[in-house]
Amino acid sequence: MHNLSKGLRILGAIAAILAIGLAVGWFATRKTDSNVQLESVVPAPSNAPPTARLPFFSTNSKPRPPEVLVNRTMPLPPPPVGTNILADWEDRIEGILGSDGEEAGKARQMLAIFPRLPEEGQVEVAQHLSNLVSDQDYAPLGKFLTDSKLSESVLDVLMVDVLNRPNSLKLPLVMEVARDQQHPKAAEAKDLLELYLEEDYGADWNKWQAKLEQWIKDNPD
């Protein structure tokens, strides 16, 4: 009988422990669910500072600077003194081409104004000179071809023109251009020498000169 009552007390203690454990587990579960619900409902605090609302009209607007009245009837300032460019170069060219003179005379007039023309005018005049200048009078135009200070667009026109001249006139000028490493068309001129003479002497211009003279003798105009 004593043992039975002792066993019942043990079973009662175990049952109480189990009941307490179940109660604690249930309470913890409820607490977790409540925290989840609160986290989903309450928004996370933002670290961004509150945006200041600006008034529709600025209270610190700056005063407008006083307007400067411009006299639109005032003449424009004259071009800077010392420029050698012809201001009326288009009219000059039209006047030369429309005159009754001979082509040789027109060519001389255009050669005279050529250095005072802008790049656009030099390109146009170079095209006219290609048609007006004869092989016998080509020397002044050939000097422009060897001028490394001219723009590449002008030199392109002059290079095309010289290639239509006789070999005895063309190749010496092409070699002179090729020897000038500062000339914009030097590489192109050297390629032309290699094409005509079928040799490549690099920078040995004495060999180039000897080969050129022999080639012109063997290939007269």
What does the pLDDT read at residue 81?
Answer: 39
pLDDT in tens, 24-62: 454 444 444 444 443 444 444 445 444 444 443 344 444
Q: What pLDDT band is residue 12 in, cutting at 50, 70 and 90? A: low
Q: Looking up tokens 């005379």, which residue turns up?
A: 105
Cα distance between residue 5 and residue 9, in whole Å: 6
219 vs 8, residue with greater confidence:
219
Cα distance between residue 58 and residue 61, in whole Å: 6
pLDDT in tens, 168-199: 999 999 999 999 999 999 999 999 999 999 99
Q: What pLDDT band is residue 220 in, cutting at 50, 70 and 90? A: confident
Q: What pLDDT band is residue 14 in, cutting at 50, 70 and 90? A: low
Type of residue at 202:
G
pLDDT in tens, 138-168: 999 999 999 999 999 999 999 999 999 999 9
CB 193 within 8 A of CB 174: yes
Cα distance between residue 213 and residue 207, in whole Å: 10
What does the pLDDT read at residue 7?
Answer: 46
* Alpha carbon distances (Å) from 64 to 58, 61, 67, 71: 14, 9, 8, 21
Q: What is the dihedral of CA 4, 5, 11, 13, to 10 degrees?
A: -160
pLDDT > 90 fraction of the chain, expressed in percent and rounded: 60
CB 134 within 8 A of CB 161: no
Type of residue at 181:
Q
Look at residue 71 and tell me whether its pLDDT is greater than 60: no
What does the pLDDT read at residue 43?
Answer: 46
62 vs 221, residue with greater confidence:
221
Q: Which 8-state DSSP code applies to residue 185? A: T
